Amino acid sequence: MDVGAFYQGDRCQFTVWAPRHEKVAVNLVSPSGRLLPMEPVGSGYWQVTAEDIAPGTQYFYQLGNDIERPDPASHYQPDGVHGPSEVVDHAAFRWQDQQWSGIPLDELIIYELHTGTFTPDSTFDAIIDRLPDLQALGINAIELMPVAQFPGDRNWGYDGVYPFAVQNSYGGAEGLKRLVNACHQQGMAVVLDVIYNHFGPEGSYFSDYGPYFTDKYNGVWGSALNFDDAQSYGVRNYFLQNALYWFETFHIDMLRLDATDHIIDLNAKHFLQELAERVAEFSQQQGRKFYLTAENDVNNVQILRGLDEGGYGMDAQWNDGFHHCVHTLLTGEQIGYYQDYGTCGQLAKAIKQGFVFSWEYSPFRDRWHGSDSSAFPGQQFVVCIQNHDQVGNRMLGDRLTHLVSFDALKLGAAVLLLSPNVPLLFMGEEYGEDAPFLYFVSHTDANLVEAVRAGRKREFSHFHLEGEYVDPQSKETFERSQLRWEKRNEGHHKTLRELYQHLIQLRRTIPALKKLDKQNLEATALEDQKLILLHRWSADSQIFCIMNFNQEAVSFESKLPDAKWQKILDSADEKWLGTKASLPTALESNQLLTIPGLSFALYQA
């Protein structure tokens, strides 16, 4: 059952799931002021098709005789989360991406951005002007942090309460379509971050309609959504429809499913399996592949296994362990979950196998954790060295730029882009952005604002203790988080961006780097020296990369296959603002080598 208001040319079909009521109507508050009684159509759904409905018509649903609420599947909330919903004519948009066929997973270079802080205008249209710059960098996919309607105009997006309504302050549905259309015309895919594990706390009227929540489980971010309790079919259908809505109506290429380990479902068929089945059917109908990638803290390969193997059928999964390895090696931090990491051996495992914890004891969790992912190809793992969570959940919103040296930033870029996974860059990372990315909200409920402030302080009391607390409700917090985009062409920022650009180019042009093949790969850790030696090969090329995570220069003996090894990149070169390169131009096996601290060198044969 399709839920929401569907404009069909001077008429509109309204469908809502409201099993708790014996009487439901559509109240057209603007411009006509009509009340349209709805008819039950089974399983708690109500429906009416009305004539003389124009796009822009605003409405509430009247539940019973006196409760009026916005549409749970509203396609537009022009006045925010508490105002009326609005009828949208999706067919009016003229798409120009008919030749677009998508980009395979193993070719993606993803750039995560927050619409509100990526540009001063905080709109989808403003992003379009920056696409050529991203494309010149080598980016071929942007990942938008959640854009579903949230309270006010400042929010990370994880407080959204209307999953079908595109944030009004960003430009609404039309603005998002223009952005996707422009991306596809320029050869770029679009990934959208969606939240199917909770609703935000302000403007959430779902309980007035039906059993969207369950008391069977305790939710981390409020009441747990009802995926397996009585009448859960209506909740499951709601989110299944939402996923297909983004693919069909907005031509989104991939959905990133937030915190799927908090989608609690003990049914014989997990919601993620059902979602994967529906998306596979849709992909077949459309003649091209649409992707699902999951964030999941459990490190369970069942997420990645195919549907025919009893798995959940996700195309890829975020591998946070990769980030944690790089972060701890570069910063030396050992607080919070970082206490589980900090060795070169772990990073070598992340490069070679995927998950760092494959059913080993985790000191942070005080239990055994993870599963063996070595059989799964690199394109099924999205990795990063920075993202919105790892930066924004620090008290000061500090990026790696604030925590480590310029040499360390270059080394981090190499690990990210030379590893056989799908790399994700966080906006500004490529030029060493030094504006923080802080946590910010713009709630209108004063009690909720105080609760958010108290909650963030409580979180910081156990993790990332440095610095003074920053008020998330303050507009200044949001403004401080906006990119200083002009810096990408200045000084060391420009050099770092050129290094990222060069690494991406090498990744695309050297066969040994292009194929995300774990079989043709060796990642060796020399723990005492804090070195990682990366060897990758294909039928007609091979690379050898030396990565030094030691602050000081390190000497070691190379053990290489016989070949004519030539150096093609050295981060210690003056070109990359290095101190002084010490590695030879040509390499031989069993040769004593010295590499400067916090540097890398790449050889090709």
User: What confidence tens digit (pLDDT) does each residue in 426-466 have?
Assistant: 999 999 999 999 999 999 999 999 988 888 877 766 555 56
For the segment 347-367, the average pLDDT, to the nearest whole number, is 97
For the segment 82-93, the average pLDDT, to the nearest whole number, is 98
- Percent of the chain clearing pLDDT 90 (strictly above): 92
**Cα distance between residue 439 and residue 396, in whole Å:** 9
| pLDDT at 468 (0 to 100) | 72
| pLDDT at 462 (0 to 100) | 55
Q: Among all residues, which ones are annotated catalytic?
A: 258, 295
For the segment 213-218, the average pLDDT, to the nearest whole number, is 94
| pLDDT at 33 (0 to 100) | 85
Which residue, among 398, 362, 402, 381, has the nearest Cα to 323 in the 3D structure? 381
Judged by DSSP in three states, 556 sits in strand
| pLDDT at 219 (0 to 100) | 87
DSSP 229: S
Mean per-residue pLDDT over the chain, rounded:
96
Query: DSSP H helical segments within 343-395, as ranges?
Result: 344-352, 388-392
> pTM of the full predicted structure?
0.97
Which residue, among 204, 205, 2, 176, has the nearest Cα to 76 in the 3D structure? 176
pLDDT above 80 for 358: yes
| pLDDT at 133 (0 to 100) | 98
| pLDDT at 169 (0 to 100) | 98
pLDDT above 90 for 379: yes
Judged by DSSP in three states, 71 sits in coil
Which residue, among 230, 212, 232, 231, has the nearest Cα to 222 in the 3D structure? 212
User: What confidence tens digit (pLDDT) does each residue in 409-425 have?
Assistant: 999 999 999 999 999 99
Whether the Cβ atoms of residue 542 and residue 512 lie closer than 8 Å to each other: yes
Quickly state the pLDDT bin for 42 (edges 50, 70, 90). very high
Question: Which DSSP string corresponds to 298-323?
Answer: T--GGGTS-GGGTS---SEEE-HHHH
Domain-wise residue ranges, the chain: 4-92, 108-118+141-160+184-195+251-504, 516-604
Q: In CATH terms, is domain 108-118+141-160+184-195+251-504 a member of 3.20.20.80?
A: yes
pLDDT above 70 for 514: yes
pLDDT above 90 for 539: yes
Whether the Cβ atoms of residue 239 and residue 276 lie closer than 8 Å to each other: no
Per the DSSP assignment, residues forming a β-bridge with 191 are 143, 254
Domains 4-92 and 108-118+141-160+184-195+251-504 share a fold: no
Neighbours of 13 (CB within 10 A): 15
**Cα distance between residue 18 and residue 45, in whole Å:** 6
Per the DSSP assignment, residues forming a β-bridge with 85 are 59
Whether the Cβ atoms of residue 12 and residue 53 lie closer than 8 Å to each other: yes
Question: 4-92 has which fold?
Answer: Immunoglobulin-like (2.60.40)
Which residue, among 368, 359, 323, has the nearest Cα to 341 in the 3D structure? 323
Q: For the structural domain made of 516-604, what CATH number should be given?
A: 2.60.40.1180
For the segment 530-557, the average pLDDT, to the nearest whole number, is 97
User: What confidence tens digit (pLDDT) does each residue in 122-179 have?
Assistant: 999 999 999 999 999 999 999 999 999 999 999 999 999 999 999 999 999 999 999 9
For the segment 364-369, the average pLDDT, to the nearest whole number, is 97
Which residue, among 568, 583, 460, 468, has the nearest Cα to 531 in the 3D structure? 583
Query: What amino acid occupies position 401?
Result: T
| pLDDT at 458 (0 to 100) | 75
**Cα distance between residue 496 and residue 489, in whole Å:** 10
Per the DSSP assignment, residues forming a β-bridge with 15 are 4, 47
Cis previous bond, 163, omega within 30: no
| pLDDT at 464 (0 to 100) | 53
| pLDDT at 212 (0 to 100) | 98
Quickly state the pLDDT bin for 561 (edges 50, 70, 90). confident
pLDDT above 70 for 82: yes
CA torsion sign for 165, 166, 172, 176 is negative
Among all chains, which residue has been given the structure tokens 């060493």? 432
User: What confidence tens digit (pLDDT) does each residue in 98-125 have?
Assistant: 999 999 999 999 999 999 999 999 999 9
> H or E segment at 26?
strand 24-30
Judged by DSSP in three states, 98 sits in coil
Query: DSSP H helical segments within 122-231, as ranges?
Result: 124-128, 131-137, 172-185
Whether the Cβ atoms of residue 471 and residue 453 lie closer than 8 Å to each other: yes
Furthest-apart CA atoms within the chain: distance in Å: 85
